[in-house]
């Protein structure tokens, strides 16, 4: 059973923090620039990029710059809210995953998640995503969407276990490492 404990938002270095969230094994900490030093090596595992069109960060400074942008919590045009949390294992203080939520003006949300390779298949992604989704329910989000490469069987299993339903299929949604990537769109209604 997951328990979501929400702490009060505060300000750090001029950036309003998201609340921290808590589950049985994890603390979801709001992403901040200082996380770059502790997570840089985790992002160097090339297996993370099999199904996404990104490359590992070049250095800690570039990762810190990216985190500073994400920690602003708003898209540059102001039309989206960005919620990003690092899931930290309470048992040993290691970072096991990154959870990203984009909130649109219609109160729909897009969910993305990265579980760092050493922590695959341990249930951390499910626990972290469910905790973030509970937070979204509490703030009135109506639907959550996830778009997944059709070859990413582990992610498809996770999202289905979280109660998402496949809504559509998009052929040739992206080119990833020179290959065509088809995508499934999954939706979970929260209202």
- 71: Cβ–Cβ under 8 A, 6 or more apart, which residues? 15, 30, 31, 32, 33, 84
What's the mean pLDDT when you consider all of the chain? Answer: 90
Q: Say if residue 169 is exposed, middle or buried (CB neighbours under 10 Å; 0-12, 13-18, 19+).
A: exposed
Residue 8: the pLDDT is: 40
Q: What pLDDT does residue 66 have?
A: 95
Q: Please give the C-alpha separations between residue 154 and each of 13, 52, 68, 123, 181, in angstroms, as whole numbers.
A: 37, 14, 30, 11, 16
> Does the structure show a pLDDT above 90 at 31?
yes
Domains, the chain, with CATH or none:
11-143 (3.40.630.30)
pTM for the model? 0.89
- Beta strands 81-89 and 95-103 are antiparallel
- Determine the pLDDT at residue 30: 96
In percent, how much of the chain has pLDDT > 90?
77
Tens digits of per-residue pLDDT, 151-168? 999 999 999 999 999 999
pLDDT digits (tens, 9 = 90+) for 15-27: 556 899 999 999 9
The first and second tokens of residue 173, run together, are 């949604």
pLDDT of 49 strictly over 70: yes
pLDDT at residue 16, as a whole number: 55
- What integer pLDDT is reported at residue 131 of this predicted model? 98
- Return the pLDDT at 3: 44
Q: What is the pLDDT of residues 80-127, one digit of tens each?
A: 999 999 999 999 999 999 999 999 988 899 999 999 999 999 999 999
């Amino acid at each position: 059973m997951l328990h979501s404990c929400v702490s009060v938002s505060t300000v750090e270095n001029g950036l309003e923090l998201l609340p921290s969230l808590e589950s049985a094994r994890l603390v979801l900490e709001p992403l901040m620039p200082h996380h770059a030093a502790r997570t840089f090596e985790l992002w160097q595992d090339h297996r993370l990029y099999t199904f996404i069109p990104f490359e590992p960060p070049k250095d800690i400074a570039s990762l810190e710059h990216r985190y500073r942008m994400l920690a602003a919590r708003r898209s540059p045009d102001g039309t989206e809210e960005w919620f990003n949390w690092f899931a930290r294992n309470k048992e040993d203080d290691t970072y096991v995953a990154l959870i990203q939520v984009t909130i649109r003006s219609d109160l729909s949300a897009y969910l993305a998640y990265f579980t760092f390779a050493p922590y695959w298949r341990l249930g951390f992604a499910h626990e972290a995503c469910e905790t973030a989704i509970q937070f979204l329910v509490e703030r009135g989000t109506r639907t959550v969407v996830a778009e997944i490469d059709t070859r990413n069987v582990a992610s498809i299993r996770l999202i289905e276990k979280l109660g998402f339903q496949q809504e559509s299929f998009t052929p040739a949604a992206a080119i990833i490492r020179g290959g065509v990537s088809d995508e499934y769109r999954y939706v979970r209604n929260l209202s």
